[in-house]
Amino acid sequence: MRAFSCGVCGNLLVAENSVCVSCGTAQGFSPAVMRFVPVDVASGMASGSAVQCANLAAAGCNWLVDDGHAGRLCVSCRLTRTRPNDEDAAAVAVWASTESAKRRLVYQLLDLGLPVVPRSDDARGLAFDLLSSARSPVVTGHADGVVTIDLAEGHDAHREAMRVQMGEPYRTMLGHLRHEVGHYYWQVLVRGNGLVGNGLAGGQGPASESPALQRFRHVFGDERSDYRQALRRHYATGPPRGWAAGHVSAYATAHPWEDWAETFAHYLHIRDTLQSAAAYGMVVTGPEEPGPGVDLVALPLEDAAAGDTIGSVVGTWLPLTYALNAVNRSMGKGDLYPFVLTPPVISKLGVVHDLVVGVRV
């Protein structure tokens, strides 16, 4: 994500701010211009007809409604179809932190130029059911544009226990959101649902003839193999030996759809982290002790990625991860990015990259 500043005093603002900590001016994030603007607290209004999102009090949403929508919810909150009852205070607290992670997701989707269409506005759009599993079971997943999230994943103790139980190196709410939304964008970008034009996507034409689908099947495999059976097999026997040579995670081996969703999530991880590094002027020039060296220089440039090949994106990404992993370990934490990107995985990231930068909404 980019760095933001207060329009009144120039102080740094971060994504979660609703007030400038320096001058005290109320702030709202405007999705229309993708930056913060000052808000008049008495009226809840910003410039033009923009108003604060109605979820400000309930969920700490600091976005503005500035797209002329009749409702009082911002574009991110309008994607949420179901959320916990106000009476369920514990679930509401986790819902609020989940909405915060979701705004970070939506910021990036908008920034990448991907269509962000609430399902309440268009049947081809996206919806989130953010559900508490305290009383009845909830399965995190995606089905035809509806992402379901088990809010229990917002509790650190639960999520960390699940991470250890599943043998995963990384598990976050933002990661869940990026993975599940990846399934949705497979429909948009690969199968084609008519929401975007794309040099590769098939639009609403016969899916079997879409170049995007052909390329997907060539690189990720044939998604027509039985999905339920594939998941059952994965949970019964685990990933095949040597899985890391061609997959970014063990779960990616379960089915081509899961491989796509995992790869899509990593693409968002990489693009967002590179953007944040660039926003703060981070430049990696390599370690003091010279090694092979030449590939240990990272110069993240804001917005450069769109015009780049996946090779140059990854070429900037890897040295940055070496540096940030070392910094994290200095604080007694695990690696910031505990993954290996092999050439086949980079090829898969390349398919996602080409489809995302090729979007014409």
Residues binding Zn ion (CB under 5 A): 6, 8-9, 11, 20, 22-23, 25, 53, 55, 61, 63, 74, 77, 258, 261
Burial of 167 (C-beta count, 10 Å sphere; 0-12/13-18/19+):
exposed
CA 268, CA 153: separation in Å to the nearest integer?
Answer: 20
The one-character DSSP state at 284 is B
Contact 330, 356 (CB under 8 A): no
- Report the largest interatomic distance among the alpha carbons of the chain, rounded to a whole angstrom: 62
Min dist. Cβ of residue 294 to Zn ion (A): 37
CA distance to 120, 209, 218, 245, per residue, from 206 (Å): 26, 6, 18, 33
DSSP states of 25-41: -BEEEETTTTEEEE-BT
Contact 279, 35 (CB under 8 A): no
Min dist. Cβ of residue 57 to Zn ion (A): 11
Min dist. Cβ of residue 324 to Zn ion (A): 26
Give the nearer residue to Zn ion in terms of CB position, either 48 or 199.
Answer: 48
- To which H or E segment does residue 345 belong? helix 343-357
DSSP states of 293-309: -TT--B---TTGGGGS-
CA dihedral 218, 219, 223, 224 (to 10 degrees): 20
Give the nearer residue to Zn ion in terms of CB position, either 20 or 127.
Answer: 20
Give the nearer residue to Zn ion in terms of CB position, either 31 or 300.
Answer: 31
* Residue type at 200 in one-letter notation: L
Give the nearer residue to Zn ion in terms of CB position, either 23 or 143.
Answer: 23
Min dist. Cβ of residue 261 to Zn ion (A): 4
Nearest to 116 by CA among 103, 134, 99: 103
Min dist. Cβ of residue 340 to Zn ion (A): 21
Give the nearer residue to Zn ion in terms of CB position, either 232 or 329.
Answer: 232
CA 222, CA 240: separation in Å to the nearest integer?
Answer: 17
Min dist. Cβ of residue 329 to Zn ion (A): 30
- To which H or E segment does residue 38 belong? strand 35-38
Min dist. Cβ of residue 20 to Zn ion (A): 3
Give the nearer residue to Zn ion in terms of CB position, either 54 or 282.
Answer: 54
Min dist. Cβ of residue 27 to Zn ion (A): 8
Give the nearer residue to Zn ion in terms of CB position, either 11 or 133.
Answer: 11
CA 216, CA 229: separation in Å to the nearest integer?
Answer: 21
Min dist. Cβ of residue 119 to Zn ion (A): 16
* The two three-digit tokens of residue 199, written as one number: 């040099």
SS3 211: helix
Give the nearer residue to Zn ion in terms of CB position, either 233 or 283.
Answer: 233
Give the nearer residue to Zn ion in terms of CB position, either 25 or 210.
Answer: 25
